[in-house]
Structure 1
Amino acid sequence: MKIIKTSTICMFLLFLFFAFGCKTASENEKHAIELETLETAFEQYREPAITHRRFKHADIQPLIQKHSSAFEIEELGESVEGKSISSLTWGEGQTKVLLWSQMHGNESTATMSLFDLFNFLEASGDAYDELRQVLKSNLQIKFIPMLNPDGADAFKRRNALDIDLNRDAISQISPEAVILKSIRDAFEPEFGFNLHDQQIYYNVDKTPKQATISVLAPGYNYDRDVNEVRARAMKAIVGMNEVLQQVIPGGVGKYDDGFEPRAFGDNIQKWGTSTILIESGGYVGDPEKQFIRKLNFMIILNALNQIALKGYEAYTVDQYFEIPDNGFQLMDLILQEVQVPVEGEWYPIDIAIRRRESNADSTYYVTGSVDDLGDMQVYFGLEELEVNGLRYEEGKTYDQAFESVNEITGEKALELLRSGYSAVKVQNGDPGDLHNLPLIVLKSRDEFTGGWQTGSNPTFFLKQDDSLKYALINGYLIDLQNPQDQLLKQRIY
């Protein structure tokens, strides 16, 4: 029998201690909140009054006031159109944190999550009390949930002066910009969260993965230097990314850090506040961004805890730079090798389609457009179809007018599509009224012509021999043999 010396055993046990014991200590130093805790906290404290992303200034005023007993609420000033801009302050700690949302009026995802967070912070008597006490005793947090109420009411990016507030940090032409700069200077936060939405067409560079969340520790000079202030932001972002990779693996991108001398994020970093940009992108099946709202809640709450306990110091700047960059290579739909007719000949081309939203009161409609065509191999489609040589077929307009869109059932719409009709006319209803039919609906005109060329509305059919296989209606793909339910938000023409 071979005898193992006691000294050998001791060395082995010592190795195990350092290999595993040190790793556990490092994990503890991060002070990260368990994923399940973050998820259950969101579900328990989600604000039920907000169910979609096109809420207005008036909608959030009662939601602000309901927190008046737990938060210090202050009216900071007014927008160009005279709407109030308020802050909510919570906590008694030494480390100050400022969060501002909806600087761009149509970027409302994080605003929703802030109201969820308000509910969480105000509550008591549950399993999260210890966490709340850590935050309350270590942090003083000031929230500005809607910096651009005029833009929010119109659901547009810019304010009522048609100025991009994120390009008004220096000139401060807008009253909203003056408010943000004044609060930053008076409050002097150590950390700042700049909360935005980005286009859904951002991807994680060179991959088909949608950048559901993008992050940035903005540069404070043209040389993109990293000082202590910016490094703190970078490390905090690494902690946020650690949470996100558990929920949306591969779905996080990093913005380019080129210095923009007019931007608030870049300048607030320059003025000494460690600034973290969070951009909410897209997620398939989440048009109202309710899942992304949850992600915002989770990463902000986790980051606040790590700031309170300095857990971000367990991360490195190198880990920040390992987060992949953003790309802008996504399309809603890519059709590969469609046969299109030109001068009596058929040519195989890829067709890349994007569908853009337009405002319609408190909701929106979608307009599809052929964004590019030819060889589209450098792009990725949220939906892709290899059509294997199917031929382009122009759609027809049904001659007989229907009384209204309500007369057209789903079955009738499918019957018309299978007969080659892509458009119908109605006697009642106004141009601009919305509908969800998989057809183009006409009131003010007799014909509608789609096309495959760039800039055209992608409304046509794909045909094999004499059989129609697919319909494209306003950029939405419909399999005529196996149609699936889709939410087609369209307007009457």
Structure 2
Amino acid sequence: MKKILVLYVMFIMNSISANYAQNLGEMLHGYHEVFKEQSITKRRFGHQTLLANIERLKVNPLFDVSKATLSSEGRDIYLIKCGTGKTKVLLWSQMHGDEATATMALMDIFNFLENRTNSGVDDQQLDQLRTDLLKECTFYFVPMLNPDGAEAWSRYTALGIDMNRDALALQTPEGALLKKLVFDLKPDFAFNLHDKGRRYSAGKTGNLATISFLATAYNEAQEVNETRKKAMLVIVGMNHALQPFIPNAIGKWPSDFEPRAFGDNIQKWGSTLILIESGGFKNDPEKQYIRQLNFVAILTGLQMIADKSYEKEDISEYEAIPVNDKVIYDLIIRNVTIKKGNTTYQADIAINRNERPVKGRDYFTQSSVIEEIGDMSVFFGTDEIDATGLIFSATQEISLGQKAEFELVKDGKVIYKINNGVKL
């Protein structure tokens, strides 16, 4: 009887905690538009756009803005401090230059913290949240840690080095800065904000892993000490906050220990490290909705740190988050009839649309590829066509690697036209 009572109390506490995070997430999700930084509408923006926003922060006494160092090509990297609390939190984005989603969300979070809105919204809950965060925590932000990579739209620094593999050698000024901040500030919590490939799935499902989390491992054995446990519990709360908006579309990044990576080493150095990876969401090529989800997740995580509500979470819920997998293609055409030479057969066709940056521009081109031909029954398509009874028709015989430009025909009539991998 006593054991049943304990389990019941734990269930009630977990339910209360989940409701707390979900309610907070719903409020933040609903208010995001009024705090969204309107000068940024596409994910490919340059260093100058960031600087324009930072210049505005300099005149607000809420923020202490300082130049932290110069990039390899001489661009300013800024450290932005706000809050007066004893809990120190370090957040950085775009250590990979072509991963800009969280940088957009940080601009929105700055607007929230200074109560800069687009509609003059006045809400006591928001005011209390803002007050609690700034009272209980001191925040250190480094948006766009790799400005050279951002300008080139490249994962790497100007030296050609992946900064997230530079935690030991410190061959980059950007990497040296991050380690110095960790050792000088000794943050209690750290948020490592990234993007990942948009086709990762939440487990072996057809759900895109729109957001993925990880409490990084600090040793090869992937043991869980108190530092790592805190990251897991905060992630459980952020997962609760996001599930109403992207149900079953949250994944967990594989936890293999990488001895050169900052996330793994910062956990080892004693700061609780939370990794957030922004993936894909259907019909959101500029990641503006994923930007909103980052706004919700990060602020929820920060509030749970500020009021220590993460301590009420259940670590088993972290373990239950599905690990990222790769079982999704952009388009799968199922059961199409194909004629090749003297052979006619039925098969599936898997197609991906690959993004290519345009130098000096803020947009991308798409190049489609036929990736697989055959049995795709264990894979999923973000878009799918049941082509039973339809015939593949193109100017050339089908082959792997060719551009996806063809028609699906029945009795001489075009039923579907595939233009550069897109169903018309």
The match for 2:251 among 250, 253, 273 is: 253
Q: Does the Cα contact within 8 Å between 1:260 and 1:266 map onto a contact in 2?
A: yes
Q: What is the match of residue 154 of structure 1?
A: 152
- How far, CA to CA, are the matches of 2:14 and 2:219 in structure 1? 36
Q: Residues of 1 paired with 2:65 and 2:111: CA distance?
A: 15
Give the corresponding residue for 1:265: 263
Contact 1:30–1:314 (8 Å) recurs in 2: no
Q: Which residue of 2 aligns with 1:66?
A: 56
Residue from 2, 27, 37 that aligns with 2:16:
27
The one-letter code sitting in structure 2 at the alignment partner of 1:65 is E
Residue among 62, 78, 84 paired with 2:76: 84
The answer as to whether partners of 1:109 and 1:289 remain within 8 angstroms in 2 is yes
Instruction: Name the SS of the counterpart of 1:62 in structure 2.
Output: helix
Whether the 8 Å CA contact 1:92–1:140 is kept in 2: the answer is yes
CA spacing shift, 1:368–1:350, aligned 2, 3 Å: same
C-alpha distance in structure 2 between counterparts of 1:293 and 1:144, whole Å: 17
Q: Which residue does the alignment assign to 2:119?
A: none
Give the 3 Å change call, closer, same or farther, for CA 164–19 of structure 1 in structure 2: closer
Aligned with residue 43 of structure 2, among 38, 50, 53: 53
Residue in structure 1 matched with residue 386 of structure 2 by the alignment = 386
Structure 1 gap segments, 5+ residues each: 1-14, 396-448, 479-493
Q: What aligned pairs does 1:58-207 form with structure 2 within 5 A after superposition? A: 58-68=48-58, 69=60, 70-123=62-115, 126-127=123-124, 128-207=126-205
Deviation string 1:435-492 (CA, Å, 9 cap, x unpaired) is: xxxxxxxxxxxxxx6x6321111111122222222222211122xxxxxxxxxxxxxx
Deviation at 1:25, TM superposition (A): 9.5
Give, as a single letter, the amino acid of the residue that structure 2 aligns with 1:391: I
Structure 2 Cα separation of the partners of residues 82 and 387 of structure 1 = 55
Take 2:368 and 2:14, find their aligned partners in 1: how far apart are those partners?
A: 53
The 5 A counterparts of 1:251-400 are 251-360=249-358, 361-395=361-395
Q: What are the ranges of 5 or more consecutive residues in structure 2 without an aligned counterpart?
A: 117-121
Shift, 1:207, TM fit: 1.2
Contact 1:73–1:86 at 8 Å: present in 2 too? yes
Once the two structures are superposed, residues 324-365 of structure 1 have per-residue CA deviations (whole angstroms, 9 ceiling, x without a partner) of: 111111100001122222231211111100001001122110
- Write the distance in 1 (CA, Å) between the matches of 2:212 and 2:238: 11
DSSP-derived class of the 2:187 partner: coil
How far apart are residue 30 of structure 1 and its match? 8.4
CA distance in 2, matches of 1:28, 1:218: 23
Question: What amino acid does structure 1 have at the position aligned with 2:376?
Answer: M
Any idea what SS the aligned residue of 1:67 has?
helix
Deviates more, 1:37-46 or 1:358-367: 37-46
Matched residue SS, 1:230: helix
Secondary structure at 2:244's aligned position in 1? helix
Measured in 2, the distance between the counterparts of 1:63 and 1:203 equals 34
Partners of 1:164 and 1:333 lie apart in 2 by 31
The aligned amino acid for 1:129 is D
Show CA shifts across 1:45-104 (max 9, x none): 111111110010011101011112221111111111111111111100110001110011
> In the aligned structure 1, how far is the partner of 2:198 from the partner of 2:18?
35
CA contact (8 A) 2:14 2:314 kept: no
- Kindly provide the CA deviation profile for residues 180-223 of structure 1, in whole angstroms up to 9, marking residues without a partner as x: 11111111101110101111111111211111101100111110
Identity over the aligned pairs, expressed in percent?
A: 43
Partner of 1:464: 410
Q: TM-score, normalised by structure 2?
A: 0.92
Q: Which residue of 2 aligns with 1:242?
A: 240
Q: Alpha-carbon deviation of 1:389?
A: 3.3
From 18, 21, 33, the equivalent of 1:43 is: 33
- Judge conservation of contact 1:351–1:452 (CA < 8 Å) in 2: no
Per the alignment, in what secondary structure is the counterpart of residue 170 of structure 2? coil
Decide whether aligned partners of structure 1 residues 171 and 459 sit closer, same or farther in structure 2, where only a CA change above 3 A counts: same
CA gap of 1:21–1:461, structure 2 versus 1, over 3 A, is: closer
Amino acid at match of 1:105: G
For structure 1, which segment, 23-32 or 369-378, has the greater mean C-alpha deviation from structure 2 after superposition? 23-32
Aligned residue pair count: 409
Render the CA deviation track for 1:274-316: whole Å, top value 9, x for unaligned: 1111011111121111111111101111111110111110012
TM-score (norm 1): 0.79
- Aligned residue number for residue 473 of structure 1: 419
User: 1:146 deviation in Å?
Assistant: 0.3
Do the aligned partners of 1:194 and 1:277 also contact (CA within 8 Å) in 2?
Answer: yes
Q: Deviation of residue 171 (structure 1)?
A: 0.8
Say what the alpha-carbon RMSD is for the aligned residues: 2.1
Give the conservation status (yes or no) of the 8 Å contact 2:25–2:242. no
Bigger Cα Rg: 1
Higher relative contact order (CA 8 A, sep 6+): 2
Q: Which stretch shifts more, 62-71 or 23-32?
A: 23-32
Cα contact 1:452–1:458 (8 A) shared by 2 = no
CA–CA separation in structure 1 for the residues paired with 2:363 and 2:203: 31
Mapped to 2, the partners of 1:19 and 1:230 lie a distance apart of 27
How far is the alpha carbon of 1:248 from its aligned partner?
A: 1.0
